[in-house]
Structures are given as structure tokens and as C-alpha cells.
Structure 1
Amino acid sequence: MPETNLYFIAVVPFSDLQNKVNQLKRDIATRFNSARALKVMPHITLKAPFKWPPTAHNMLLKWFVDLKLPGPSFAITLQGFGAFNNRKNPVIFIKPADSISLVLLQRELVNSFAALEPAIVQPIDKNFTPHMTIAYRDLTPANFEKAWEEYSHKEFEEQFEINAVHLLQHNGTQWNIIASKPLANT
């Protein structure tokens, strides 16, 4: 049994949109030698990956199931591309349009998580920059420059309904949704 399990919390688009995003990931993998993003389903992270003891797995699941989230569901638009031009690990992502509903959802989730386990709340959780990653980790700075030259001008516009948040766990090979929490309908 592992010493810790790895989790994160996210919103996940419907399958047709996941397929479109995965096509972009495959394009970057093929043309710019960055396939790492293909290992995780398209998503917008609400709570960054965190380690949790296996012995407390049920406690985490109970917190997630009992979570009180603001509602109702809402639509979000993905428009164009953005980038984090980090020196060693640049990132290219699809940009969500500004959404106060998404910001409030993320803030409520992180505040609730902080009440459960404040030591695991990270600066990235407090400085929320919504994005749907299509290239990271194995994207070299040189390939980032080439890809970003193209993707910075590329058009992309899709919309999806956010009606639930999902708890994902890494099984040693891939990420899997282990629980889903619908947004409250008001």
C-alpha cells in the first residue's frame, strides 16, 4: 500500500469537448514533442494535486460527499489560448472566459478544504488562474516558442455546462474520477 495517495479536484467538460481538446493535445504531442498532457483528461483544476494518507481516504470521500457548493450549474466559455511561460516548464492552455461563478465555486471549495486540512492548501489554490492545459511538463522552452507562435493566434471557442465537481485519484498510471458532486440547484 502506498504511503500517500494523490488527488485533485476539477470540473470536467462533456465527452465531445474532451475529444476536441484531446485532438489539440495530440497535435502538440506530434508536432512539438509534448505528450504529457495526454495522460490526464481535459479539465479545469479547482484544487491542485495533493497527497493524502490511504488510511484517511474515507474521511476525504466523506468531506467531498458532504461538501456544500454554491449553485446552480452554469455555462462557461472557452476562448482562445493562453500560456505560462515558465523558464523550465512552460504551459499552453485553453482559456476560459472570465466567470465569477467559476471563481466563487473554486473559492468555496478551497475554503472548505482549508477547514478540513489547512496545511495542504497551496499558494496556487489561493491564486486561482482557471485554465485547461494542453501542453506542459515535457514541453521544452524551444518547442514552447514554436508552439506558442502558432497557438497564440489560433482560434478556439466552445462552451460547456458546469454542473458538478469531480474528485480524481491517481492510481499509479492514470487519473480517475472517484467521486462527483453535483452543484446545488437553486
Structure 2
Amino acid sequence: MATIPAKYFIALVPEGKIQEEATALKEEMKNLFNLKYALKSPAHITIKMPFEWNENKEDKLIYKLQKFLAGIGVFDLKFRDFDRFGRRVIFVDVLPSATLQSLQESLGKFCKLELNLINELSDRAFHPHLTISFKDVKPKNFDLYWKHIQSKHFNADYQVRDVALLKRMEGRWKVIHRFPLTEA
């Protein structure tokens, strides 16, 4: 069987009101400023950066992740307004969470040891966030984008009930599997 590389990443992908509000902000940035790259994926918090995996072994990837995530319990996160990475990324901020930090670190170790994935710099410099605009953000127009987004508010509490595996398909990222977390 030939190796067919596909791109995947692991994230927290809120559903319902949080997803709707974040997507509405992305749409607004597209309509006002033609910033559309962030619309290629659902609003999410990346906990393992994109990686290549043999598509023929996708079931094995899901199985291994299922085993790893089986012992992780439901936990809470808080989204509070906006922040930025320099003049290139605008995002909804996630308040610090020891549980999320621990999950991300243990997932990174698991991915390195069990899946033979490399630990990216951005995996080691984890700053949880929900991206609103990136890649097509023009530094010369950043002040305009930033002023607009700061006129908004984003405050939400999120109970993390699952972890998602996303796959790049036809130029977009799609959730292909959700791993439920353990109820308390």
C-alpha cells in the first residue's frame, strides 16, 4: 500500500454560540478588509500543530489518540476579548489554564514518542488562542484592523468536552473525528 501523506492537526473546536460568534468575526474581517484566510478552518485552539500522516493509516492515528485521550477529563476555559501576535495575527484570548497547559504538554510528548512527530517550536511556545485573522493580514493596514477588532467584545465560558482531529481536505481544514473527554 502506497504512502499517501495528508495534513492533520489536533485542536479544541468549540461548537454552538462560541463557534458562531468567532465565525461571524472572521466573516466581518473578510467583508470589511478582505481578510479571509482564517475562514479556511473552524474557530479552534490548536494543541498540536499541523503534521503529515499516512492517510492509509488514519484509523491507526485515531485509535492511538483515542487511547491517549481516554483518561482526560472535561475542563473549563474562558475567552476574554482580543490580543495579537505582533502585527500579523489577531485572536480571541484564552485565559491561562493549568489543565489546558498540561494537556498540551502531555499531548506533545505522546505525539513525539508514540506517533514519531517532531515537536515544533510553536508546540513548545504554547499560547492558546482563537485566531480571527492571520496570513493575509497586511502590516501596513494592521492599525486599522486592530482598531476595528478592539471596538468589539468577546467573553465566553467554554466547557471543553472533546478534542478534535482536523484534516486538510480540498484546501480547507475539517473536523474528521471528535474524542469525547471523561465526565467528572
Q: TM-score, normalised by structure 2?
A: 0.90
1:4 corresponds to 2:5: yes
Residue by residue over 1:134-160, the C-alpha shift from the partner in whole angstroms, topping out at 9 and shown as x without a partner, is 001111112222111332453221111
Runs of at least 5 residues in structure 2 that lack an aligned partner in the other structure: none
Which residue does the alignment assign to 2:63?
Answer: 62
- Secondary structure of the residue aligned to 1:180 is strand
Distance change (3 Å), C-alpha of 1:59 and 1:70: closer
Q: After alignment, is 58-67 or 15-24 more displaced?
A: 58-67
Distance in 2 between residues matched to 1:92 and 1:33, nearest whole Å: 14
SS state of the match for residue 67, structure 1?
helix
Mean CA deviation greater in 176-185 or 122-131: 176-185
1:120 to partner: Cα distance? 2.6
Between the aligned partners of 1:77 and 1:160, the Cα distance in structure 2 is 6
User: Following TM superposition, by how much is the alpha carbon of 1:10 offset from its aligned partner in structure 2, in angstroms?
Assistant: 0.4
Q: 1:18–1:65: structure 2 CA closer, same or farther, 3 Å change rule? A: same
| More displaced 10-residue stretch of structure 1: 67-76 or 104-113 | 67-76
Any stretches of 5+ residues in structure 1 without a counterpart?
A: none
Find the counterpart in structure 1 of residue 29 from structure 2.
28
Q: Determine which of 101, 104, 107 is the counterpart of 1:103.
A: 101
SS in 1 for 2:78: strand
Change (3 A) 1:82 1:92: same
Match of 2:118?
120
Alpha-carbon distance in structure 2 between the residues aligned to 1:34 and 1:125:
25
1: distance between equivalents of 2:137 and 2:59?
36
How is 1:1-186 mapped onto 2 (pairs within 5 angstroms)? 3-68=4-69, 71-85=72-86, 90-152=88-150, 154-186=152-184
Q: Would you identify which runs of 4 or more consecutive aligned residues in structure 1 move more than 4 Å? A: none
Please give the root-mean-square deviation of Cα atoms over the aligned residues, in Å.
Answer: 1.9
1:93 partner amino acid? F
Q: Residues 73-130 of structure 1, C-alpha deviation per residue, up to 9 Å, x if partnerless?
A: 11211001011125xxx11000011111111111121111111234432111111110
AA matched with 1:158: A
- Number of corresponding residues: 183
